[in-house]
Structure 1
Amino acid sequence: MRFVSCCALVLALAAGCGQPETACPAIGYLTGIGLSISSPAGITKATLEACWRGHCVTSPVFLQPESTVGATTCAGTGPDSPCGASMVPTGGLHGFADVPGLPAESVRVTVRFDDGVPHTAEVTPFFSEPNGSACGKAGPQANLVVGPDRQLRPA
């Protein structure tokens, strides 16, 4: 009986001797490809096709107006002084296409806008650690920028 109690105490102490536990937020993280269009004249919709190792996934890109941080104001100069900022539209569009199974390797991406003309680029998605290395990797994701002639390039 004494042997069992002693073993239980040793196991209980050993369980508390490891690395401190990290609290990782339970947030969603999409796997896919983002698209940024600074000059969207004539663009209202986009479809993205991503292909790798003979496998292709086609997804709509949900485009939204882009914005950036405008003027900021602060009520003081101290570290506890409240500050505010407003968002200002840039005139551009941005969106994201969910691409299930997207690998962290070279992917051929073809984007078609309203006119249906294909625009193609190669991109290598990457994993990120949005909550730090202790919480593991998420993704992968990639981002593309659309130039004035609708050419694609990795961001």
Structure 2
Amino acid sequence: MSGLSVLAVLGGCGADGQTCTAIGSPPGISIDGPGVPDALLGDAVLEACWNGDCREHDVRRWSSDRQHGFAEIRELPAEPVRVTLVAEGRRLGPVTVTPEPTWPNGEECPAGGPAASITVDRNGTVRPD
């Protein structure tokens, strides 16, 4: 196998020989809702605002207990963002978070998308994590 083929398979290496895989790390806001009734987080959207512009993003579920979600926001900046969770006609928040780059393979490899997270309690109170 040629050196280029090995590099393509591994996805690159960091300065210390660490493997940098092609693992994804999409930009977005994760939502944790321990103890929140399923109905409240049923068909939720996340409103994200920065630089005077607000947009809604669908919240996708990835856990079977439906208490964890993620709103992918491709253009999410690594600067303060005001977020409001809109669920079942209720506006929960707003709260300000500052997304930071993620490092799925460690800091020797290229950064993934910026991300932040919020938690919603059973009373609908939102707080940044």
Common fold, TM-score beyond 0.5? yes
In 1, distance between residues paired with 2:110 and 2:62? 30
Equivalent positions of 1:13-92 (< 5 A) are 22-41=18-37, 42-43=39-40, 44-65=42-63
Deviation at 1:22, TM superposition (A): 4.7
For residue 102 of structure 2, what is the aligned residue in structure 1? 128
Gaps of 5+ in 2: 1-14
Deviation at 1:101, TM superposition (A): 1.0
Amino acid at match of 2:100: F
Give the % identical residues. 37
- SS of the equivalent of 1:133 reads coil
Paired residues in the alignment total 112
TM-score (norm 1): 0.65
Query: Which structure features the higher share of strand residues?
Result: 1
Gaps of 5+ in 1: 1-18, 67-90
Q: 1:95-116: CA deviations, max 9, x gaps? A: 00011111111100011111x1
Deviation at 1:64, TM superposition (A): 4.6
CA RMSD of aligned residues (A): 1.9
- SS of the equivalent of 1:145 reads strand
Amino acid at match of 2:50: W
In 1, distance between residues paired with 2:61 and 2:124? 15
In 2, distance between residues paired with 1:112 and 1:129? 29
In 1, distance between residues paired with 2:31 and 2:44? 9
Amino acid at match of 1:108: R
